[in-house]
Amino acid sequence: MSHGHWLQLPLVFLAAAVVAVPLARWARLGSILGYLVAGLAVGPAALNLVPDSTAIPEVAELGVVLMLFLVGLELEPKRLWAMRRPIFGWGSVQLLGCAAVLTAVGIALGTPWRLSVVVSLGLAMSSTAVALAVLAERNLGRTTAGESILSVALLQDIAAIPVLALVPVLALSGAHDDGDGKTWLAAAKAVGAIVTIVFGGRLLLRPALRWIAQSKTPEIFTAAALLLVLGTAALMQAVGLSMALGAFLAGVLLAESEYRRELETDLEPFKGLLLGLFFIAVGMGLDLKAVASQPGLVLAVLATLLVCKIFVLVLMAKAMKIPLVERPAFIILLAQGGEFGFVVFQLAQGEGMITAAQNSALVAAVALSLALTPLLLTGGDRLMSQKLARIGAKKKRDEAPPPPAPIIIAGSGRYGQVVGRMLRANGIEATVLDQDAEAIEGLRKFGWTVHYGDATRLDLLKSAGAETARVLVIAIDDIDQSVEIAQLAHAHFPRLTVVARARNVQHYYQLHAAGVRHIERETFDSALMSARSVLELTGMEPHAARRQAMRFRRHNIDVLNQMVPLQGDENALIAAAKLGRQQFEQQMAAEREADEAHRRAQRGGWDSHQASTGPDA
């Protein structure tokens, strides 16, 4: 293979990701769909910019491996042991329940039972990569739904080996040729590999990492972290086990070590890049020709996959008592197909159970389910917000309607929480709008009225009482969403006073243009407090330092407001900023000179008084 080809691969992947992912995020479809579209664009189905893609899935799988290692680092052995029941309990219910329903549908449609079982087991698996990436994006890892999804994903990794072992047995090809001996040998190898990782991790890993850390060479520690993950994965692959499962075990063993944070920091960039490569590889694997030649079969498999799994998962969500706002994520992230299905279908084709055309149709259905996941999540969020609104309306009909809260807070992060707590301490109730399911659960426990959903939606603002509220506090992190909410409030609720925080000066100008007049910059006051401390440490009296800080605050706000009309004229803005700074510095210098002259006069008067009265006066 030529040197140019090796250079071509990273160029194509990086260019595709850089173009597709920001576009997908801009359209609020998530980065995962962007990577899938990028893979589809550069793959053989479209531009065919990657001529030899046989090694790409193997390299891309390292993204899943690194991700599960980092997940293992977050799970201490005690916590993992506490999760044993959901892993083997609900995880088994999901896998076997979905496989059983899909098998029943396949047999009812006339498919041989052996083929139905194999295909159903492949379709019952969900994508660990997509699920954990979405959980991280939405900050759902520590929620009930997040831990339940993780439990199911771990069970699927554990079940990978028996499922792969079952395919050739059901295929009845060579099943009697020394099958028992091979099965026992494979089992012994698997147990030996797990024992090696567990005991080797406890006895050797920490001393080895300590010795490497003593070299005080950061790049070598990063290399050691990569070697640890790849070595564990290679060991598990050598004995026929899941590479991701081995990496997860290694991560759990190091979860309580002093090197946990260092390992996370070193591996995080590699994880993100390789996960992106994994999703690009999935997109490249989507054979559009196979889809075009048999669209009915592909769509039938896709519909059956989603309907059957959603049916089982809805029942599970109710039985597991997953909070209502978290159910869409739980159901949709486990209803999709998974990367493990590709392996099962490839093995089934090799054993002669399915044809190449059937394999392409199954792979296309699973890939489409992965591509549909971000869209289904967006739809699930909207349905859930409507359902919560209906539940709230029913409660209002059944009960005496509470008086509308005079304050609405959009966003319940650190900024919004401080505002809310201050109001609550002074006997003022507030209605909170947020999309973070974990934050919502916490706020509801403390008695807050919370609406789940996107605060940029006009109907949600109305249902939260914006038409009768007095003040809207915009505490959203995202600048574009913050400005959009301010514009909505200005256009539709003219009597509603908006109080907002600005992330930076440009955000301040955007909010001001949207009609907001009560704006506080995010770090401005904390920076002033630090400046006061520095002035006091240099010898200035505390009251004088406070006075100087207040003067600076008033001057800065005055200059900022004077610069609002100059937006769009960079030269005028720079000139106004320089002039304001020079005027303030001159004013401060003049005041310092006056204070110093006053102090000298006071000292002079005291000295004259001492001279006239004498030392013994």
DSSP secondary structure, 467-480, as one string: TT-SEEEE--S-HH
Q: Which one has a higher pLDDT value, 300 or 244?
A: 300
Tell me, what's the pLDDT at 178? 46
Q: Which residue has the tokens 């591996």?
A: 267
pTM higher than the cut 0.75 = no
∠ CA 72-75-77, rounded to 5°: 105
**Which of 52-66, 113-127, 256-270: highest mean pLDDT?**
113-127
Q: For residue 99, report the phi and psi dihedrals to the nearest 5 degrees.
A: -65, -40
Please check the confidence at residue 395 and state whether its pLDDT lies above 50: no
Run of H or E including 519: strand 518-521
Characterize 134-148 residue by residue with b for buried, 16 or more Cβ atoms within 10 angstroms of its Cβ, and e for exposed. Answer: bbbebebbebbbbbb
Q: What is the pLDDT of residue 396?
A: 45
pLDDT digits (tens, 9 = 90+) for 468-511: 888 999 998 888 889 999 999 998 998 899 999 888 888 888 88
Q: What's the Cα-to-Cα distance from 454 to each of 157, 321, 494, rounded to whole Å? A: 35, 24, 21
Q: Tell me how crowded residue 344 is: count the other CB atoms within 10 A of its CB.
A: 24
Most confident range (mean pLDDT) of 27-36, 230-239, 280-289, 386-395 is 230-239
User: What is the overall mean pLDDT for the chain?
Assistant: 76
| Torsions phi, psi for 67 (to 5 deg) | -65, -45
Q: Region 238-253: what's the mean pLDDT? A: 74
Name the superfamily (CATH) of residues 403-522: NAD(P)-binding Rossmann-like Domain (3.40.50.720)
162 forms beta bridges with none
Q: List Cβ neighbours of 153 (8 Å cut-off, separation of 6 or more).
A: 126, 128, 131, 132
- Kindly state the tokens that stand for 292: 């075009």
Highest mean pLDDT among 94-108, 277-291, 395-409, 414-428: 94-108
Distance CA 26, CA 21 (A): 8
Mean pLDDT across the stretch 162-186?
A: 61
| In the predicted structure, residue 184 carries a pLDDT above the cut 60 | yes
Q: Region 47-57: what's the mean pLDDT?
A: 65
Better pLDDT: 333 or 396: 333
> What per-residue confidence (pLDDT) applies to 177?
46
Average pLDDT over residues 179-189: 61
The single residue listed with the structure tokens 């439990």 is 151
What is the predicted pLDDT for the residue at 30? 63
Tell me the residue type at 155.
L
Mean per-residue pLDDT, 158-183: 61
Lowest mean pLDDT among 1-15, 131-145, 164-178: 164-178
Confidence check: pLDDT of 1 > 50: no
56-386: which CATH number, 2.60.40.10, 1.20.1530.20, 3.40.50.20, 2.40.160.10? 1.20.1530.20
pLDDT band at 173 (very low <50, low <70, confident <90, very high): very low
- Are 516 and 497 in contact, with CB atoms under 8 Å apart? no
The 10s digit of each residue's pLDDT in 558-612 is 877 777 777 666 677 677 667 767 776 777 677 667 667 766 776 665 555 555 5
**Residue from 479, 470, 484 nearest 423 by CA:** 470
- Higher-confidence residue: 423 or 445? 423
Residues 60, 43: contact at Cβ < 8 Å?
no
pLDDT in tens, 539-567: 888 888 888 888 888 888 887 777 777 76
What pLDDT is attached to residue 175?
42
Residue of 413, 473, 403, 409 lying closest to 438 (CA atoms): 413
Backbone angles phi, psi at 601, to 5 degrees: -65, -40
Q: Which of the residue ranges 438-442, 453-457, 536-540, 548-552 would you say has the lowest mean pLDDT?
A: 438-442
CB-CB contact of 23 with 35 (8 Å): no
Q: What is the separation, in whole angstroms, between the first and last Cα of the chain?
A: 102
Reported as a pLDDT band with limits 50, 70 and 90, residue 341 is confident
pLDDT band at 176 (very low <50, low <70, confident <90, very high): very low
- Which of the residue ranges 250-254, 360-364, 542-546 would you say has the lowest mean pLDDT? 250-254
Task: Give yes or no for residue 462 having a pLDDT over 90.
Answer: no
* Amino acid 498: pLDDT: 93
Q: Three-state SS for 427? A: coil
Report domain extents, the chain: 56-386, 403-522
